[in-house]
């Protein structure tokens, strides 16, 4: 959040001042005000700041308080909590359980608004595009709602329409959250381990993806290409000419939702075949294609007659590189062969960290983790329990899984739970083995190895070609006295920030004085045009001076 005040920072910090005051008021009312004590000037008088002791002794738990805050602050915060509920590698387990209770509680927007959006997006009336269009939505969520419709050629479709103006309100909330996360990291060193900035960055990226329905259209098309001709899978058809960033028209799917397993007999479905097909499709996405549906919860999966499967809601997808797939397969293989030193190095390729963990400690924890499950019967190994312990291992060593790696593991856990509901004897680990073996054998392919050697050779060629130019430039700058060294003294950021703000305040004060002096001279000259008996130009100058004073005062309150 560093930068010049007010011209560069006012757009982020104070552009949505009313909304920020509302957010802070809710935080103060729920006992979190002490974390933002320097922003007290933006909160109405009488709000208690609270403290850690009060929160710890309260009958309402800290995670539950935060859930109430998110519910009160509306759709952006509810969505953020829902996303965080799926990231146990970022937040503690008790918060995950509490945030999982968050539900979208938003009413559908009027059909007339749907009609206006479609006309604005495609330039014609709704009736020219659809022969039928149900006015009542099938589902309404925080970002979009969906309607059943029918095209003029008879095709039954599902039309997803984004909420009007939701992008502006979400972006405003994300800007404020970014500011508050930076504030927490700077003012509360004990919270840096939670990395609030990274958490905000994670769900900001996810929400941005869901806001763009045109991106969801592209995801469906990519998914259809990679699974073209695959038996047992239906990818919903899409109509690009009837889709945009605000509207998505796709095939209406009729079948048994994976969340309604009691209806399987109605569709003549075989639970055993469905469970094995589901996990095969998922593992193919991970290990063969590297592009996968990252939110395959039961509400996003349909089972169709003929023991087929259909995924819906492609707003969230993930991508895994070949190198990451091989690292993941190698990690599991090394743990099974008890080569924990190499396993630790491979794990570091799948995570992010500020400081590399102690490899010896990581090796020992991986060994203990492996021994915990290695000698059990495979039927007794619950994938969710394995993943939860693995997330705790990562947290202990202050490393965080790359977001797409986490989404891959999360999808595997959800698939294992669904598979066990369909078939009590099901276990995803048994079906994982052939895919891992395939990845391992592919890594040994001479053609693949030759291709990588060629890539390394080309990189070396580029390095050798550029090195003489870089050396020449270096020595030329040395001889001409133009060589510059950049250094940074750690710990001086606060002093630098203080001096910047001091200089900015002095500059603003000088501008204020100049405006007041100029306004006084204009008043003395009594120069027309006049308003309320005073020259209009003088009134404008006084107004600008007052506005600068208010901005400077708010900044002083915030940094007090």
As given in the structure block, the two tokens for residue 218 are 């592209």
Which residue is catalytic, options 295, 313, 365, 416?
295
Q: How far apart are CA 378 and CA 194, in angstroms?
A: 34
Q: What is the pLDDT of residues 133-146, one digit of tens each?
A: 999 999 888 889 99
Which has the higher per-residue pLDDT, 558 or 25? Answer: 25
Q: What's the mean pLDDT in 519-533?
A: 74
Pairing of strands 308-311, 233-234: parallel
Active site residue 295: yes
Closest CA to 174 of 200, 140, 211, 206: 200
As given in the structure block, the two tokens for residue 345 are 């190095």
Bridge partners, residue 251, by sequence? 157
Closest CA to 210 of 201, 199, 219: 219
Residues 61, 94 contacting (CB under 8 angstroms): yes
Q: How far apart are CA 538 and CA 515, in angstroms?
A: 9
- The dihedral of CA 264, 282, 86, 362: what is its sign? positive
Q: What are the φ/ψ torsions at residue 50 (nearest 5 degrees)?
A: 70, -175
Residues 392, 90 contacting (CB under 8 angstroms): no
Q: What is the pLDDT of residues 389-419, one digit of tens each?
A: 888 898 888 888 888 888 888 888 888 888 8
Residue 12's pLDDT is 53
Residues 141, 104 contacting (CB under 8 angstroms): yes
* Residue bearing tokens 């320097």: 38
Look at residue 288 and give its three-state secondary structure: helix
Domains by residue range for the chain, with CATH: 10-104+177-209 (no CATH), 111-166+211-317 (1.10.510.10), 318-446 (no CATH), 493-558 (no CATH)
Q: What's the mean pLDDT in 345-360?
A: 89
Residue 44's pLDDT is 61
Q: How far apart are CA 53 and CA 332, in angstroms?
A: 44
Other C-beta atoms lying within 10 Å of the C-beta of residue 306: 12
Residues 242, 228 contacting (CB under 8 angstroms): no
Closest CA to 269 of 237, 319, 219, 309: 309
What is the distance, to the nearest Å, from the Cα of residue 8 to the centroid of all Cα atoms in its chain? 25
Q: How far apart are CA 279 and CA 282, in angstroms?
A: 5
- The mean predicted confidence, pLDDT, of the chain is 81
Bridge partners, residue 395, by sequence? none
Highest averaged pLDDT of the listed ranges 218-227, 443-452, 494-503, 509-518: 218-227
Residue 8's pLDDT is 40
Residue 189's pLDDT is 63
pTM for the structure as a whole: 0.72
Residue 50's pLDDT is 57
């Amino acid at each position: 959040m560093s930068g010049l005040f007010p011209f560069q920072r006012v757009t982020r910090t104070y552009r949505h001042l009313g909304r920020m005051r509302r957010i802070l008021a809710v935080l103060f009312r729920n006992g979190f005000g002490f974390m933002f004590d320097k922003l007290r000037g933006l909160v109405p008088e009488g709000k208690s700041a609270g403290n850690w002791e009060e929160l710890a002794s309260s009958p309402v738990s800290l995670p539950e308080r935060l859930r109430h805050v998110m519910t009160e602050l509306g759709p952006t915060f509810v969505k953020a909590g829902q996303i965080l509920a799926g990231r146990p590698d970022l937040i503690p387990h008790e918060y995950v359980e509490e945030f999982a209770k968050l539900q979208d509680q938003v009413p559908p927007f009027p059909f007339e608004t749907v009609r206006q959006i479609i006309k604005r997006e495609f330039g014609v009336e709704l009736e020219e595009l659809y022969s039928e269009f149900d006015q009542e939505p099938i589902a309404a969520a925080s970002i979009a709602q969906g309607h059943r419709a029918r095209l003029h050629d008879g095709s039954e479709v599902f039309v997803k329409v984004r909420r009007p103006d939701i992008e502006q309100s979400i972006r405003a909330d994300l800007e404020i959250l970014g500011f508050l996360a930076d504030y927490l990291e700077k003012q509360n060193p004990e919270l840096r381990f939670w990395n609030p900035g990274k958490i905000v960055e994670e769900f900001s990226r996810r929400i941005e993806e869901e806001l763009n329905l045109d991106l969801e259209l592209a995801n469906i098309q990519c998914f259809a290409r990679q699974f073209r001709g695959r038996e047992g899978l239906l990818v919903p058809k899409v109509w690009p000419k009837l889709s945009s960033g605000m509207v998505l028209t796709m095939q209406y799917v009729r079948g048994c939702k994976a969340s309604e397993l009691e209806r399987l007999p109605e569709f003549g479905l075989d639970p055993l075949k469905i469970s094995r097909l589901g996990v095969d499709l998922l593992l193919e996405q991970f290990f063969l294609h590297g592009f996968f549906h990252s939110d395959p919860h039961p509400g996003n999966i349909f089972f169709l007659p003929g023991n087929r499967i259909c995924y819906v809601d492609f707003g969230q997808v993930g991508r895994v590189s070949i190198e990451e797939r091989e690292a993941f397969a190698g990690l599991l293989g090394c743990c099974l062969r008890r080569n924990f030193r190499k396993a630790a190095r491979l794990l570091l390729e799948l995570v992010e960290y500020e400081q590399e963990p102690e490899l010896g400690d990581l090796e020992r924890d991986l060994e203990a983790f492996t021994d915990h499950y290695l000698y059990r019967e495979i039927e007794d190994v619950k994938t969710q329990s394995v993943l939860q312990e693995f997330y705790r291992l990562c947290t202990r060593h202050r490393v965080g899984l790359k977001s797409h790696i986490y989404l891959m593991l999360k999808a595997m856990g959800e698939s294992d739970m669904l598979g066990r509901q369909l078939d009590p004897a099901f276990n995803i680990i048994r079906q994982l083995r052939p895919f891992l073996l395939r990845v391992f054998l592919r890594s040994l392919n001479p053609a693949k190895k030759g291709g990588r050697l060629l890539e390394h050779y080309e990189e070396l060629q580029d390095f050798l070609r550029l090195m003489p130019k870089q050396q020449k430039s270096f020595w030329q700058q040395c001889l001409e006295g133009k060589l510059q060294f950049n250094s940074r003294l750690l710990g001086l950021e606060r002093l630098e920030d203080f001096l910047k703000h001091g200089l900015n305040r002095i500059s603003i004060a000088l501008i204020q004085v100049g405006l007041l002096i100029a306004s006084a001279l204009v008043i003395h000259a009594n120069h027309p045009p006049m308003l309320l008996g005073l020259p209009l130009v003088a009134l404008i100058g006084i107004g600008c001076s007052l506005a600068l004073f208010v901005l400077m005062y708010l900044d002083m309150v915030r940094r007090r």
